[in-house]
Structure 1
Amino acid sequence: MTSKQAKEYLLRVRRVKREVQRYQALKAQARDLACSSTAPPDKLSVIGGKGGDVFARYAQYAATLDEKISDLYDLQNEVTCTIARVPDSRYRELLLGYYVEGLTWEQTAVEMGYSYQNVVQFLHPKALAQVGEIL
């Protein structure tokens, strides 16, 4: 696998984190609507119900969102396990910081005690090459 393909593989985790946050926000909004006695009828239709069945519909909707979140966590776990197989601890730290924790390159460099240029121009390409070898 090329470094570019390895990078795309790892970037999925950053996207997953944003997607999980969106699903959690949707779930919270639906819960708030289901629990609100003043929710307008058109808003209740978002979670699929009127009156007494709002809570049942919310539970169904929440379960669907939880399933999607679980699938996304499975993907994050897969990528994290791949990173754990990288032999060099510096590369693992870099990959975990940027791709899994969602740090910026600057934050990753500071945490590692390296310059931004060293992380981006030297360490990152080598880390991607190792991920490519694993995949």
Structure 2
Amino acid sequence: MTAKEYLNRVRRQNYVVKQAERELTAVRADILTLESASLSEKVSGTRESDLSDKYIKLEKYFDTVISEWNKLIDMRVKAKAMIALLPDETQQAVLYARYINCMEWEQVAADMHYSWKQVFRIHGRALNSFSRIHANFLLRRRDDME
């Protein structure tokens, strides 16, 4: 596994969390809509059991979101510690902004007051540094994936 592949896994996990949260919000909204509809109608007892089933399913969505968040937090803690071992603070800042904070390249360049070209140059050097320092870890990760 390359340094970029490893760090991109952290970045992608952030999107997995965001999608799980969006899905939870949509399901919650659907249940609330069902609940308000059932309150306005007088129908026999099956509505309440249907709503109970929906709340149980909602709880499962919530558990999924929590699980994905926990995974993201663990990944970020590990990646941050690994990035912190880079000797150059500017390289650390670029990797941190891109992979931990999930910033777009334009944002990274603007925040650091560098051109895109300079940010890409720093990023390339940072990835090389990361690969050198964490070669054994990245090699083990690659072997685990095969």
Q: Give TM-score, length-normalised by structure 2.
A: 0.72
Report the count of equivalent residues.
122
Q: How many angstroms apart in 1 are the aligned matches of 2:66 and 2:104? A: 28
Q: How many angstroms apart in 1 are the aligned matches of 2:77 and 2:126? A: 18
Structure 2 residues not aligned, in runs of 5+: 39-48, 135-146
Q: How many angstroms apart in 1 are the aligned matches of 2:87 and 2:67? A: 33
Aligned to 2:108: 108
Give the aligned residue type for 1:94: V
Q: Which runs of 4+ in 1 moved over 6 A?
A: none
Q: Percent identity over the alignment?
A: 29
Give the aligned residue type for 1:107: Q
Give the aligned residue type for 2:61: Y
Aligned to 1:26: 23
Q: How many angstroms apart in 2 are the aligned matches of 1:104 and 1:68? A: 22
Aligned to 2:81: 81
Structure 1 residues not aligned, in runs of 5+: 40-48
Displacement of 1:104 = 2.2
Name the CA shift for 1:102/1:65 in 2 (closer, same or farther; >3 Å).
closer
8 A contact 1:6–1:132 mirrored in 2? yes
Three-state SS of the structure 2 residue aligned to 1:102 is coil
8 A contact 1:92–1:127 mirrored in 2? yes
Q: RMSD over aligned Cα, in angstroms?
A: 2.1
State how 1:1-135 maps to structure 2 within 5 Å.
5-36=2-33, 37=35, 38=37, 50-120=50-120, 122-135=121-134
Displacement of 1:84 = 1.7
Q: How many angstroms apart in 1 are the aligned matches of 2:99 and 2:85? A: 15
Moved more, 82-91 or 69-78: 69-78
Between Structure 1 and Structure 2, whose CA radius of gyration is higher? Answer: 2
Name the CA shift for 1:112/1:53 in 2 (closer, same or farther; >3 Å).
same
8 A contact 2:20–2:64 mirrored in 1? no
